[in-house]
Structure 1
């Protein structure tokens, strides 16, 4: 039980740490221009990915399935992130 709680704390701290990168970068350059919505969307995306991976770790007992499912979750995260960032698919979500 304690390991699971530590993993959850680790997930939240990792999300905060990742979100600090653009926040700090915004202080030094005009190239990074995030608003509150950007932070909320990315925070939700990262936290959701972390919590979904945690759910898979807790519920899926077969190691190979666990690795495969988490890999798919990470691929989905990267595709959504790329779409939101540069619109690789040209969906309405990217502002295309």
Structure 2
């Protein structure tokens, strides 16, 4: 069984690894062109999501409730990310 500290490290390591991959892709992959504000927004979204998921995982809800809530949180993250990237909903803050 994992301890609370191991779970917290795992939850916050995922966004850090994703940002590291994006950083190295930005350096070495042609066509991958993120600026500093892109990294700041991605970091805020990823670490904000990790914080909320960590909060849900450490709550006193049932396992099924935790899974459903985390699934909804991840769905919202994906929808916001896609909207910022390509603007599927046509909102004013869309990326295209």
TM class, shorter-chain normalised? Answer: 0.7 to 0.9
Q: Residue 70 of structure 2 corresponds to which residue in structure 1?
A: 70
Cα shift at 1:72: 0.3
Q: Residue 92 of structure 1 corresponds to which residue in structure 2?
A: 92
Higher helix share goes to which structure? 1
Q: What TM-score do you get using the length of structure 2 for normalisation?
A: 0.87
The answer to whether the 8 A contact 2:83-2:95 is kept is: no
Q: Tell me, which stretches of 5 or more residues in structure 1 are unaligned?
A: none
* CA–CA separation in structure 1 for the residues paired with 2:13 and 2:33: 23
* CA–CA separation in structure 1 for the residues paired with 2:13 and 2:66: 23
Q: Residue 59 of structure 2 corresponds to which residue in structure 1?
A: 59
Structure 1 stretches of at least 4 aligned residues deviating more than 3 Å after TM superposition: none
Aligned CA-pair RMSD: 1.7
Q: How many aligned positions are there?
A: 95
Q: What TM-score do you get using the length of structure 1 for normalisation?
A: 0.87
Q: Tell me, which stretches of 5 or more residues in structure 2 are unaligned?
A: none
